[in-house]
Chains A and B, each alone.
Chain A
Amino acid sequence: MKTKKELKKEFIIQGALALFAKNGFYTTTIPDIAKSLKMSVGNMYNYFKSKDILAKEILKHISHYLGEKLKNINEKDISTQEKTKQIVTVYFQTAELRPEMIDYFLRVFLSNREVFKEGCEGMICVNDFITEIMIYFEYGVKNGELRDQDFFSAFGLFMGYLGGMVFLKGENILPNELNSYIDDISNNIYKALKV
């Protein structure tokens, strides 16, 4: 069971996540976040000592959220083809229902790498998510569905594709809803990765 302090931290993370994703990292200040949550600035610092620390905790929060969704898929006794479709579905659903999460990843984390340089070395802060993606790939190769290759070649193809589609959606370029692309994109990814 989570403590009162942990629940409060989560509350701050949710609020800050929305503001960072909407306004960007540098233009969003701790007073902005405090104001949106009806908290005093001083009280905010009781939970997060700096904006950088908060930014890293948000990244871990998103990674954990998506990682848990992927873990559920990985633990199902289904083919890699079906898992591929379910991962695409989860990603697009998150982009529709919790757009701030994907926006944060694309527009804050990837665009402001200097903020995450210390404390989020390599993939540390997105470990939960990456671990599940690795398990998905590994299972696919092991059961003979996916071609064995360098992890990042496969990872870039998969996540770059999904990220690109969500970016296009965010720019209002896509003519249709993300959900309508799930079948085609799942098939494209699976065909590109399979043996």
Chain B
Amino acid sequence: MTTFELLEYGAWGLSAVFGLWMLFDMIKTDRSYSEDLLTSSREGEIEDKLDGAR
């Protein structure tokens, strides 16, 4: 297998990792929290408190 082929497989592999990570996290999140909470955001409501998130 050439270096170029390795790079191409690497790119496919990383794409799959990022895609599956998002998919698994989305399913986990949807199962862990109620739909009412997940869709509770309302336009115009200001959340200034960061709770140390960042």
Are these two chains actual partners, yes or no?
A: no
